[in-house]
Amino acid sequence: MFSVELCAGFQSNPKLSHFKAVKMIFRYLKGTPNIGLWYLKSKNFELIIYADANFARCGIDIKGTYEICQLLGRTLVSWPSKKQNSVALFIAEVEYIAVGACCAQVIWMKNTLENYVIHLKDIYVKCDNTSVICLIKNPIQHSRTKHIVIRHHFIRDYINNHDICLEFINIKYQLADYFYKTFK
C-alpha cells in the first residue's frame, strides 16, 4: 500500500525508476491473487485500534508516516496510512501525531456507530511507545513538546475524560505493522 501511494505521488512527472517500481508492484499482485481478507459474522462490537508510526520513513522528503488499524470485534474495518504534514524532530512526536489521528478516527467511528444505535464502551487504542503514553496521560506541557501543533493536543483531554483506554502493546504484537512494513 505504501509503495502504491509513493508511486502515485509521481504520476504527473514519472521517471524510469517509478515505472520499474510500478512493474514490481504489478508482479507482486500477479503472484498473490489468492491473498485477501476474511470477514467472520460476529456480534462482538468491541473497537480496538492499533496506532504506529515510522520516523522519517520516506527518504524523499524525510517526513514520518503513521499507520492505523481498526478492528470492530474480530473484523478489520479500516487501515489508513498517511504521510505527516510536517517533519518531526523525534520519534515520540511522530507516534504522538499517529495517536492523535487515531483518536480522531475513534471519534468519527463512535459517532457513526451511535447513529446505528450501537454504543461503544472502553475503546482500546494500542500504542508501542511508552513516551507517547506518558505524554498523553500527563497534562503538563514539556519543553520538548511545545512545538507540536496544538491540533494534536486535544487527545489529552479526550483520552483522559472519555471511554478511550490507551494501552501499551509490545512491538511484536503491533498489528498495524503487518500492513505497512516489509518483513525479511
The tens-digit pLDDT sequence of the chain (184 residues) is 667 777 777 888 888 988 898 898 888 888 888 877 666 777 777 888 888 887 655 566 666 777 888 888 878 888 777 777 666 666 777 788 788 878 888 888 888 888 888 888 788 888 888 887 877 777 666 666 666 655 555 666 666 566 778 888 888 888 777 665 554 3
Separation between Cα atoms, residue 123 and residue 175, nearest integer Å:
16
Q: Is residue 58 part of a domain?
A: yes
Q: Are residues 172 and 82 in the same domain?
A: yes
Cα 27 from chain centroid (whole Å)? 27
Question: pTM for this one?
Answer: 0.68
61: three-class secondary structure by DSSP: coil
Look at the block and give the residue holding cell 498495524: 176
Q: Is residue 40 part of a domain?
A: no
Q: Are residues 66 and 117 in the same domain?
A: yes
C-beta separation of 25 from 7 below 8 A: yes
Q: Are residues 76 and 7 in the same domain?
A: no
Q: Are residues 18 and 102 in the same domain?
A: no
C-beta separation of 30 from 51 below 8 A: no
Q: Are residues 92 and 168 in the same domain?
A: yes
* Enclosing domain of residue 165: 47-180
Q: Are residues 92 and 163 in the same domain?
A: yes
Strands 123-127 and 65-72: unpaired
pLDDT score recorded for residue 48: 87
Separation between Cα atoms, residue 87 and residue 144, nearest integer Å:
15
Q: Is residue 37 part of a domain?
A: no
Number of domains in the chain: 2
